[in-house]
Structure 1
Amino acid sequence: MNNLLNKKSWLISCVSVFTLSVVLTACGSSNTGSETGSKATSEAKVTLTYWNGFTGPDRPAYEELVKRFNDSHPNIQVTMEISPWDALLAKLPTSLASGQGPDIASFDSALIPQYAKGNLILPVDDIYGKGIDPKVMATSLVDAMKYNSKLYAVPANTATLLMYYNKDLFKAAGITAPPTTWAEWQDAIMKTTKTNGNEKQYGLVLADHATIPMWPILIWGNGGDILSADHKKSMLNDSKTVEALKIWADLVANKRISPVNLTGGDADKIFASGKAAMEINGPWMAGGLSGVNYGVAPVPSGPAGKVTLANAAAMVIGKNTKHKDEVYEFMKFWNSADAQAYLSSKSGFPPTRTDLSDNPLVKSNPLIPQFAAVANESRFYLAGLEQFSKIDSDIFTPAIQAITNNKGTVEATMADASKKLDALLSNK
């Protein structure tokens, strides 16, 4: 990620699952063995299909988890079809609409509204509190599985963001510990920024497009937001939002703590090359830092308190499945303590559950507990909104790029963006 879908190799990392049946044909909704309904019996083996885009290096871990489910559920077998995300998302909506789609699918949780509104997936409210306990998940994660207050998915995986820092650059600047507040953070950023000469060095690389959302964290940290809590009104022109953006845009545009117009991939390369002291990123980043002496720490607390970004891959049920009960068994297994501990240890992502901090498998990778520890401080960007893509690509991202390129004042830019956002919300 650094576009979340791409890093879901964070999720961008991962997930797996499902298949087909003895008296059924090959694809979820095309199964014809409806005599057994959704009850697996000793005479009939139900096969479920699961489509996802988890093609990353942790793919074997997801395949192993599916194998474990199949081995322990002889009457329910899951077959996975794994393809690149863009290919999956190109075919999934039409396949589900035509009745040829899978029993189960995974995609970025931001897409839940699109599939729910199109009646392509089934609600799953009844699995929560019965087979899956929402109390052992971060509230923001459960809320991200909703559309119009109804639950339409369970988490397939999740990830949070931390602040990566270069220990050698910190030492050279006389910084002895990672910053914990905005004041300390901005001081550390300025101490590690070098703008003169040929050997430039950046205190904090901040991507502004084709990236995981970093700027919302800065807005939230100051008490601002993109939307009101009821999603009916823009908060882009709110005083707290504007104040946060003035602080950080000035650091980028005028104090040059980061290059402008960075993609997420650009920012990653700068940090991995040792030319940046800090970057906000997810657990997937660790695999590309073999030559960097780095540490991770929570994103420093802003005036409004601690906050970071989270995202998740959702696991949903295709609308035409004949085997909802069997799908539920798989979803329960996937989010069980044992399954999540195993998957977390192999993928490097935190588990979907918050009750595994002392699990030996989770603790086997020292980074995982740190990403898991901030789950309850995490927020999802524009979760549950049908207009997610338009808000992000047509309004928010262009506004951020305008202010970091000094193409207008923060006040005027955000006032204009706010009008556009309110107009979009009123026409939904």
Structure 2
Amino acid sequence: MNQLNVPLSRRGFIGAAGAVGGALALAACGGKSTPPGAGAGPTASGAGTAYNGPNVTLAFWNGWTGADGDYAKQMVSKFNSETKNVKVNMNVFQWADFFQKMPAAVTSGNGPDIAVMHIDAIPTQAAQRVIVPIDAVANSLKLNQGDYAEAVWQGGIYQEKRYGIPIDVHCLGLFYNKDLFEKAGLNADKPPTNKDEYMDALDKLKSKGIQGSWVSPFQFTGGLMYQSLLWQFGGELFNEDVTKATWDSEAGVAALTWMTDLVKNGYSPKNVGQDADYVALKNSRNALNWQGIWQVNEVTKLTTAKIGLAELPKIGDKGGVWGNSHQFVLPRTQGSDQNKVEASAYFVNWFTQNSADWAKSGKVPAVEKQAESSEFTSIEGLQPFAKEVPDVHFPPAVAGISDAMTAMYDAVNAAVLGKSDPASALRSAANKASQILTQNKKKYG
């Protein structure tokens, strides 16, 4: 079932938050059940740089709908044309459908040989034994921690075992409307880099009747903006062992208050609709938008407005950028086909070694030397995002984490819409999330 023509959803970059950690992902296998063939994971005796075994066909599942799916389809076609003894058949689903189908398919023995997931999905799927540890595959590919940013490398690890092989990083950046900057007398080649510069730009824009920084009350992009600010103000989403939500800290309240003050002081409309902040940017009504890398390809092709791209400004004292990562995983299968394991390792190695091609879909290669290559640096618009990678934070590697995160997104929504003050909204949400974490500990172990 190929759905490459389904329009790209911005919210698809994390996947269906509830589906990953909740009932949708678990309905097929429930509780702590063990699907067929539950073992320690595959072995991979080959080096991963070649496959010399018999002809095999690999089923490859992912949620890359839209433009990124088109690039993946091109890469798979290229791989198939170059590799005579391995054929990859790619099926693409909406992320919510992906997480509905995967557990049932694995349990029935009809799961794919290779799949792609986001970092925040991996722990839940690992806890449910839908995917298997792949340390042997990572070792056969000679993956080296020094080749990745720390957060990227650690992102594929759950309970001290590697379940994911990093492909890319996708994160927030600053999108700004150069036409509006010029209208307000601002230098269109010098976007704000800190709080003072940001507020100065907003005041100049406001003097020209422009509400310059629209604040979204939704997860995309308000919830992602809030997380970035939380880290910039020195806060954390959870305590060290992820047993308690801590976003109601002083730093967390300061971060959300800064966002709500943008609304109160007239720098943003009071009720911004879903994606309206981004649409307004393109229509020269919003000047500054904390937006995801997945929009780069569109804005660089706009003819109606000139959109600049930059690193997020540091509103706080620290670097902090929301991000996520696609990673290859191996679903559990009935029995163990060593040829398929080694062919899968070869495909994973081939794909990740060609990450500069994949980056054209709007991603930063996970391997740092690839992000520094001329193939990548020549791609228009992506350099600010690559520079941010050292400051990127990922969700913690805890099963069911998306359930707890939903409470935080609800708090951001309530505060930005003026239904609650930031401190009360965050406190209530943190208490709810902490209860969810306790429940999930019992559910997943």
Residue 379 (1) aligns with residue 386 (2): no
Residue 118 (1) aligns with residue 128 (2): yes
User: Hey, what does 2:211 align to over in structure 1?
Assistant: 202
**How many equivalent pairs are there?**
392
Q: What displacement does 1:41 show?
A: 8.0
Alignment of 1:183-332 (within 5 A): 183-193=196-206, 201-212=210-221, 213-252=224-263, 254-289=264-299, 290=302, 291-320=304-333, 322=337, 323-332=340-349
User: Hey, what does 2:94 align to over in structure 1?
Assistant: 84
CA contact (8 A) 2:119 2:327 kept: yes
CA contact (8 A) 2:63 2:116 kept: yes
Distance in 2 between residues matched to 1:311 and 1:352, nearest whole Å: 11
Q: What displacement does 1:392 show?
A: 2.6
Residue 74 (1) aligns with residue 70 (2): no
Instruction: Return the match for 2:157 from 117, 124, 146.
Output: 146
What residue identity is the alignment partner of 1:418? A
CA contact (8 A) 1:156 1:312 kept: yes
Distance in 1 between residues matched to 2:55 and 2:9, nearest whole Å: 41
CA contact (8 A) 1:3 1:264 kept: no
Distance of aligned partners of 1:42 and 1:241 in 2 relative to their CA distance in 1, 3 Å threshold: closer
Distance of aligned partners of 1:262 and 1:311 in 2 relative to their CA distance in 1, 3 Å threshold: farther
Q: What displacement does 1:223 show?
A: 0.6
Q: Secondary structure at the match of 2:60?
A: strand
Distance in 2 between residues matched to 1:41 and 1:149, nearest whole Å: 29
Alignment of 1:33-112 (within 5 A): 44-112=54-122
Distance of aligned partners of 1:150 and 1:42 in 2 relative to their CA distance in 1, 3 Å threshold: closer
Residue 171 (1) aligns with residue 182 (2): yes
Distance in 2 between residues matched to 1:43 and 1:285, nearest whole Å: 41
What residue identity is the alignment partner of 1:272? K
What residue identity is the alignment partner of 2:237? I
What residue identity is the alignment partner of 1:276? N
Distance in 2 between residues matched to 1:130 and 1:276, nearest whole Å: 49
Q: Secondary structure at the match of 1:163?
A: strand
Q: What displacement does 1:272 show?
A: 1.2
What residue identity is the alignment partner of 1:224? G
Distance of aligned partners of 1:41 and 1:226 in 2 relative to their CA distance in 1, 3 Å threshold: closer
Distance of aligned partners of 1:41 and 1:268 in 2 relative to their CA distance in 1, 3 Å threshold: closer
Distance of aligned partners of 1:211 and 1:43 in 2 relative to their CA distance in 1, 3 Å threshold: closer
Name which of structure 1's ranges 38-47 and 154-163 shifts more when overlaid on structure 2: 38-47
User: Hey, what does 1:23 align to over in structure 2?
Assistant: none
CA contact (8 A) 1:182 1:302 kept: yes
Q: What displacement does 1:68 show?
A: 3.2
Structure 2: 5+ residue runs without aligned partners?
A: 1-7, 16-35, 38-43, 441-445
Residue 369 (1) aligns with residue 378 (2): no
CA contact (8 A) 2:169 2:389 kept: no
What residue identity is the alignment partner of 1:371? F
Instruction: Return the match for 1:413 from 418, 425, 433.
Output: 425
CA contact (8 A) 1:221 1:305 kept: yes
CA contact (8 A) 2:226 2:255 kept: no
Name which of structure 1's ranges 352-361 and 172-181 shifts more when overlaid on structure 2: 352-361
CA contact (8 A) 1:61 1:343 kept: yes
Distance in 1 between residues matched to 2:274 and 2:215, nearest whole Å: 8
User: Hey, what does 1:390 align to over in structure 2?
Assistant: 403
Distance in 2 between residues matched to 1:93 and 1:61, nearest whole Å: 26
What residue identity is the alignment partner of 2:239? S
Residue 181 (1) aligns with residue 194 (2): yes
Q: What displacement does 1:38 show?
A: 8.5
What residue identity is the alignment partner of 1:391? A
Name which of structure 1's ranges 261-270 and 49-58 shifts more when overlaid on structure 2: 261-270
What residue identity is the alignment partner of 1:353? V
CA contact (8 A) 2:102 2:130 kept: no
* TM-superposition CA deviations, 1:174-201 (whole Å, max 9, x none): 2222111122112222332369xxxx63
User: Hey, what does 1:18 align to over in structure 2?
Assistant: none
TM norm structure 2: 0.80
What residue identity is the alignment partner of 1:149? E
Distance in 1 between residues matched to 2:166 and 2:212, nearest whole Å: 35
Distance in 1 between residues matched to 2:437 and 2:120, nearest whole Å: 17
User: Hey, what does 1:14 align to over in structure 2?
Assistant: none
Q: Secondary structure at the match of 1:161?
A: strand
Distance of aligned partners of 1:390 and 1:239 in 2 relative to their CA distance in 1, 3 Å threshold: same
- Tell me which of the two structures has the higher relative contact order, counting C-alpha pairs closer than 8 angstroms and 6 or more residues apart: 2
Distance of aligned partners of 1:59 and 1:245 in 2 relative to their CA distance in 1, 3 Å threshold: closer
* TM-superposition CA deviations, 1:19-59 (whole Å, max 9, x none): xxxxxxxxxx99xxxxxx99898672122110122231243
Instruction: Return the match for 2:352 from 326, 330, 335.
Output: 335
Residue 351 (1) aligns with residue 365 (2): yes
Q: Secondary structure at the match of 1:413?
A: helix
Q: Secondary structure at the match of 2:415?
A: helix
Distance of aligned partners of 1:409 and 1:102 in 2 relative to their CA distance in 1, 3 Å threshold: same
User: Hey, what does 2:24 align to over in structure 1?
Assistant: none
Q: What displacement does 1:104 show?
A: 0.8
CA contact (8 A) 1:7 1:284 kept: no
CA contact (8 A) 2:365 2:371 kept: no
CA contact (8 A) 1:210 1:264 kept: no
* TM-superposition CA deviations, 1:313-334 (whole Å, max 9, x none): 2221011152222211211222
Distance of aligned partners of 1:110 and 1:194 in 2 relative to their CA distance in 1, 3 Å threshold: farther
Distance of aligned partners of 1:126 and 1:194 in 2 relative to their CA distance in 1, 3 Å threshold: farther
Distance in 2 between residues matched to 1:418 and 1:231, nearest whole Å: 12
Alignment RMSD: 2.7
